[in-house]
Structures are given as C-alpha cells and as structure tokens.
Amino acid sequence: MILVTGGAGYIGSIVVEQLLAEGAEVVVFDNLKEGHQAAVLPEAAFVYGDLTDHQAIDEMFGAYPIEAVLHVAAEANVPLSMTNPSHYFQVNVIGGFNLLEAMCTHGVNRMVFSSTAAVYGEPQFTPITEDHPENPINAYGESKLLFERMLQWYHRAYGVKYITFRYFNAAGASQRLGEDHKHESHLIPLVLQVALGQREYVEVFGSDYSTRDGTCIRDYVHVVDLADAHIQALDHLDRVGKAIYNLGSGAGYSVLEVIEAARRVTGHPIPAVMADRRPGDPAVLVASSERIQRVLGWKPRFADLETILRTAWEWHRQYPYGYERGRI
C-alpha cells in the first residue's frame, strides 16, 4: 500500500489517480486545509490528520500495511511564507520529521518527496540543473531545503531510500481532477477565474524584472506529467537509492505570455493590471530536466503551454466554483 500525504490537494489527488490507474492500493493522509474530500477518489482509503500530530501519523502506520510514502503535503504559498515563516517550518520541517520518525518506527524505508525549485533562489544560470547552488530567497524554499537535508541524513543513518522532485510550476488538469486552492495564488487558475467572470482582472506582480517583457518567467509542467514521474520513481527507487531530480518542461513563459495564451485558449479578453513586485519572487525559474530523462526515462507528454492551459480551462469550466459546489 502507498501512502500519499496531501492526497486531497491539487497535485496529490492526481498522483493518487495515477497510482490507482496502475492498480496500486492507496491511503491518503490530509488535513483538508487546502485539499478537498471530493478530490479523493473513492477507491483510495482516507485518513483525516495533520503532519504536526505525531500520534495520528503513528496510528495510521499501525492501521495500514504501508510500503512506501509519496510525501506531497506542504504549506506552499510563497508570499505567506514571507510573513509567517514559523508556520512553514512547523509544517514542512517538523511535520516532515514526524513522518520520517513514523516510517522508521514501522519499518518503512521508501519515500518520494515533493520539493520545489524555490530551493535554488535567484538563478545564477538557466536552465537550472540539480547542481545549481541552493540559496532560497523565501521561507517556503528554505523549509523544503531543510527537509531535503534531513532526508540525506536519514538515508545515511537509517537506510531510507528517497527520490526528491524539485517541482517547477505545476499546471493543467486531468479529466476528473484539477486545481482548486482555498487561498489561490497561482497564476493560471487566477487567469481562468477572470475568463469565468469571477474576477475583473488578473494582477501582474512586477513589470520591471530583467526579462524579455519585464515580468517573471516560469517553467510550467503538466500535473499529469508530474504524477507519471512519481510512478516511475517508485519503480526505480530501490535501484537508485537516493536522488534529486528537477521536474519541468524546460521552456520558460513570462506572466504576460501566459495571459496572452489564456486569451487565445478561452476566447476571453482577460484584463491585466500591473502591481508591485511580491517579496520572494525570483525573476526566472526554468528547469533542466535532462537528468531524470536520462536516468528514469521520464519525459513530459504535455509540454506545450496551450495544451496545459486547455486542460485547465476544461476542468475549470466544469467546476467553476471548485469541488465544494461540484460539477456543473
């Protein structure tokens, strides 16, 4: 049985969907703070709980025959991490420690960890390889990097095998599941909310970066491709032992380019309003995913931005108010 922490969230729910499609047995552990019960497919077992509650984690490991952990759960809002770093260290570091301790107590030594490109900070070169210096400029990235370092020591001392995925910007949707954050800060769903008439405009945070049009550039990777990588990681974990891989498409799009592509996909004008920079936002984050392609054979199937946007748009049109109000 595979444990997916955060399996009621955007990425986690689609990871669960892919695991179930492969015939795996899955248990989801989630506090539903940002996730949704409706995003947990009925074939998966569900345990309500919080990573900061070590007793709840221990009880879950005692109740289910868990063989591997996909650790997707996290606090992941970059701007909020700049104003309340304490919470991010509590959840992402201490919560992760509780999870590792329960794994060791119950003899589970296999983990795939969802990290982030935010561990790199401002890029010294692009595309970013896994050998790029790690210098986070926000508390979210710092908390993820601390857990990465913790994993290295648990591997060395206790034999925990792990693959760490440094996500770039997850986007898109599967046919059944999509992006529905209770506190939305991601560009693509915000843009699509404008197209749905739920917002008057989308804010562009910063127009004076040293980029081709002055706005931030990001690498968007389809969420189904991310989920596929997790399946491949489980298959290769025993052979690899420990590894860190970037997960991105290798292409960078500016905020204005994303908005323009969304206008083409949706057929809506999507007004944009310039705003001040947000603290903690690097100018450019674009991945080199050459290492995982070479070692695991992973390659994104949905790398084109308009394809990513089209799948997201289709899901948002079916669920304009998210999971809580259901499909129209």
Q: Which residues are marked as active site?
A: 140
Structure-block tokens of residue 234: 């489980």
CB contact set of 309 (below 8 Å; sequence gap of 6+): 171, 172, 188, 258, 261, 262, 265
Structure-block tokens of residue 82: 């700049």
Q: What is the DSSP letter of 118?
A: G
CB contact set of 147 (below 8 Å; sequence gap of 6+): 92, 93, 96, 113, 115
Helix axes 187-195, 305-318, angle to 10 degrees: 60
Find how far residue 23's CA is from the centre of its chain. Answer: 23
12: amino acid identity, one letter: G
**DSSP code string of 133-179:** ----SSHHHHHHHHHHHHHHHHHHHH--EEEEEEE-EEE---SS---
Alpha carbon distance 114, 51 (integer Å): 15
The pairing of beta strand 169-171 with beta strand 220-222 = parallel
Measured in degrees and rounded to the nearest 5, phi and psi for residue 142 equal -65, -40
Whole-angstrom CA distances from 88 to 46, 94, 153, 158 are: 24, 9, 21, 26
